[in-house]
Amino acid sequence: MGTLETISEQRLHGGLQGFYRHHSQACAGAMRFAVYQPPQAARRRCPVLYFLAGLTCTEETATIKAGAQRLAAELGLVLVMPDTSPRGTGIAGATGDWEFGEGAGFYLDATGAPWSTHFRMASYVVDELPALIGAHFPVDTALSGICGHSMGGHGALTLALKNPGRYRSVSAFAPIVAPSQVPWGRKAFPRYLGDDQAAWADHDACELVRRQSFDGTILIDQGEADGFLEAQLKPELFDQACAEAGQPLLLRRHAGYDHSYWFIASFIDDHLRHHAAALGLL
Amino acid sequence: MGTLETISEQRLHGGLQGFYRHHSQACAGAMRFAVYQPPQAARRRCPVLYFLAGLTCTEETATIKAGAQRLAAELGLVLVMPDTSPRGTGIAGATGDWEFGEGAGFYLDATGAPWSTHFRMASYVVDELPALIGAHFPVDTALSGICGHSMGGHGALTLALKNPGRYRSVSAFAPIVAPSQVPWGRKAFPRYLGDDQAAWADHDACELVRRQSFDGTILIDQGEADGFLEAQLKPELFDQACAEAGQPLLLRRHAGYDHSYWFIASFIDDHLRHHAAALGLL
């Protein structure tokens, strides 16, 4: 498990916003994450929502910009926001490209050298981080939900679909739903996973949902003024895949909203309530 | 009046979050500010709340970190968040010190050379910016409130006290209430205003409130874990000055909260409601 280093802890909405660092076995290096503990966590173990951020982001981005803590404090929901990749890996080519490498881990376990040593965000988010959270924070690890934005939406959907029973609820903002078919995925997957596209399907929500449905309705919000909508996001592909697979999906399209955290902040409360209902808080 | 350049406009909580730039006569250079227009502003002129940020901040800080737009959208309140000083003045010594110069304008009109050419934030915030806002945005300029944090709390209190009738409501988070008596003010005021401390009193809330009370209750929130509390903020001095002057003051002290925007985000809704009530929205 290892030790946990507290970077900072500050009072927020009657609870505690903290930033932490630890040595990750999965990622073979130091990792940072943020945890918001609502006031209720001072008295009992609370359900937990993991929020996965998108390309270029860190553990600070959604923590500062999503505005999720206010309602989390009312509901009694712990929020965990990890970084988007390992950092300081020293691998040639791991920095300097916002679409690949550090800041762009795609929430998968890389299988190709040299990435497979550090870029194991799936094992980190699904196994190592929750064990650490359960050991150090007042959470009920049996009551977990997962949410994400863009690349983090891809992470939330694929990790929830690949790990039945691990998450009680899943939602996403403007997720990458078909990475095998869009430029972001077709750039990152060959380097992380190799050229065999059969391996990519294990990390593609549109493919995964045809194999294994999620037990509950998936909530997705998408802005119609999102500059990445047509080339990278293509929510209609997931809509179709869910329809064919019999997967309940609530896909909401919002006129005028773009890909930014202003969009997330506008609808984060709906997502928190979606998770809170599945986690027994409503 | 001059022209207004739109830097960005993005949908947020059914309204519009914008960033703008213009040439300021008062500050003799380009100035930036942020405006949030709630959904109601698409149909009618709305009351407006000015939020003044603290040392080191820009027009982006409170816009991104305070979380004020959610409730402003419900209430129908326009939010205007200016920068904290002129920028790019080229004056020797205007940059490189977080407590003085750029990012530290103290919301006054400097009288001493070389600062008096550009550092005229009082005229900017009280006169020039509201005229610009009234001309370009759907606001009812007769219905204005003012709020601020730390140095911006000093700005809100002093500008409201110095300009009777201009603001219907005033509030502050962790304000500098007695700059003449604390290190931040005693460092900045001699350079902006000269060595005659009689001139400083015109920019010191504790002095001003003894001359001219504000028509309404002043709301102040202060965190008790604020690292600047004892040396720089000293809210007890303003509490005493208000008591002696018969000025209604609601000073709330909050255990465990520090000087950060996490503190502001925790209580911003109370401030919005304070202003909304005075502005006829509640």
| Percent of chain A whose pLDDT exceeds 70 | 99
How far is B158 from chain A, CA to nearest CA, in Å? 28
Interface of A with B (CB under 8 A): 10-14, 17, 64-65, 67, 69-70, 223, 225, 254, 256-258, 260, 262-263, 265-266
pLDDT at residue number B241 = 98
Q: How confident is the model at residue B227 (pLDDT cuts 50, 70, 90)?
A: very high
Average pLDDT over chain B, rounded to an integer: 97
Q: Tell me, what DSSP letter sits at residue B203? A: G
How far apart are the two ends of chain A, measured CA to CA in Å?
A: 33
Contacts of A41 (CB under 8 A, 6+ apart): A15, A16, A76, A78, A137, A138, A139
Q: Do A260 and B225 touch (CB under 8 A)?
A: no
pLDDT at residue number B195 = 95
ipTM for the predicted complex: 0.96
CA separation for the pair B106, B191 (Å, rounded): 12
Report the pLDDT averaged over residues A36-46.
98
Q: How confident is the model at residue A185 (pLDDT cuts 50, 70, 90)?
A: very high
Q: Is B150 a catalytic residue?
A: yes
**Catalytic position from the list A24, A85, A144, A150:** A150
Question: B200-205 — which CB contacts under 8 Å span 24+ positions?
Answer: B202/B162, B203/B106, B203/B108, B203/B154, B203/B158, B203/B179, B204/B158, B204/B178, B204/B179, B204/B180, B205/B154, B205/B157, B205/B158, B205/B161, B205/B175, B205/B177, B205/B178, B205/B238, B205/B241
User: Containing domain of residue A59, as a range?
Assistant: 4-278
List the structure tokens of A209. 């949902």
CA separation for the pair A26, A125 (Å, rounded): 9
Q: How confident is the model at residue A150 (pLDDT cuts 50, 70, 90)?
A: very high
CATH of the domain at A82: 3.40.50.1820
pLDDT at residue number B122 = 98
Q: Do B67 and A70 touch (CB under 8 A)?
A: yes
Q: How confident is the model at residue B1 (pLDDT cuts 50, 70, 90)?
A: low
The closest of A157, A155, A149, A278 to A222, measured between CA atoms, is: A149
Q: How confident is the model at residue A1 (pLDDT cuts 50, 70, 90)?
A: low
Q: Is A24 a catalytic residue?
A: no
Which 3 state secondary structure label does DSSP give A103? Answer: coil
Distance (Å) of CA B55 to CA A33, A67, B135, B175, B239: 28, 23, 29, 11, 23
How far is B22 from chain A, CA to nearest CA, in Å? 24
Contacts of B268 (CB under 8 A, 6+ apart): B66, B67, B68, B71
Say how many C-beta atoms besides its own lie within 10 A of residue B169's C-beta. Answer: 26
Report the pLDDT averaged over residues A204-233.
98
pLDDT at residue number A116 = 98
Q: Has residue B187 got a pLDDT over 90?
A: yes
Q: How confident is the model at residue A26 (pLDDT cuts 50, 70, 90)?
A: very high
Q: Do B265 and A11 touch (CB under 8 A)?
A: no
Give how many domains chain B has, as a whole number: 1
Picking from A12, A258, A266, the nearest residue to B262 by CB comes out as A12
How far is A70 from chain B, CA to nearest CA, in Å? 8
**Entry pTM:** 0.97
Q: Has residue A24 got a pLDDT over 90?
A: yes
Which 3 state secondary structure label does DSSP give A129? Answer: helix
pLDDT at residue number B54 = 98
For tokens 């020797």, the residue is B92
Q: For residue range A52-104, what is the model confidence (pLDDT) as tens digits?
A: 999 999 999 999 999 999 999 999 999 999 999 999 999 999 999 999 999 99
Q: Do A257 and B14 touch (CB under 8 A)?
A: no
Which 3 state secondary structure label does DSSP give B85? Answer: coil
Q: Is B226 a catalytic residue?
A: yes
Distance (Å) of CA B138 to CA A262, B39, B79: 21, 11, 11
Q: Has residue A44 got a pLDDT over 70?
A: yes
Give the distance from CA B186 to its chain's centroid: 20
Which DSSP string do the residues of B219-245 spell out, in sequence order?
EEEEETT-TTIIIII-HHHHHHHHHHH
Report the pLDDT averaged over residues B111-138.
97
The closest of A199, A118, A209, A124 to A162, measured between CA atoms, is: A209
Spatial strand order in the sheet of A218-223: A4-12, A15-24, A29-37, A78-82, A46-52, A139-149, A169-173, A218-223, A249-254
Average pLDDT over chain A, rounded to an integer: 97
Picking from B13, B65, B254, the nearest residue to A266 by CB comes out as B13
CA separation for the pair B81, A108 (Å, rounded): 41
CA separation for the pair A106, A187 (Å, rounded): 11
Top residue of A37, A262, A264, A272 to mutate, by most chain B CBs within 10 Å, is A262
Q: For residue range B26-55, what is the model confidence (pLDDT) as tens digits?
A: 999 999 999 999 999 999 999 999 999 999
pLDDT at residue number A66 = 98
| Cis amide prior to B114 (ω within 30 degrees) | yes
Spatial strand order in the sheet of B169-173: B4-12, B15-24, B29-37, B78-82, B46-52, B139-149, B169-173, B218-223, B249-254
| Percent of chain A whose pLDDT exceeds 90 | 99
Q: Has residue A21 got a pLDDT over 60?
A: yes
The closest of B185, B35, B189, B224 to B119, measured between CA atoms, is: B189
| Percent of chain B whose pLDDT exceeds 90 | 99
Q: Has residue B58 got a pLDDT over 90?
A: yes
Phi-psi region of B76 (alpha: psi -120 to 50; beta: other; left: phi over 0): left
pLDDT at residue number B159 = 98
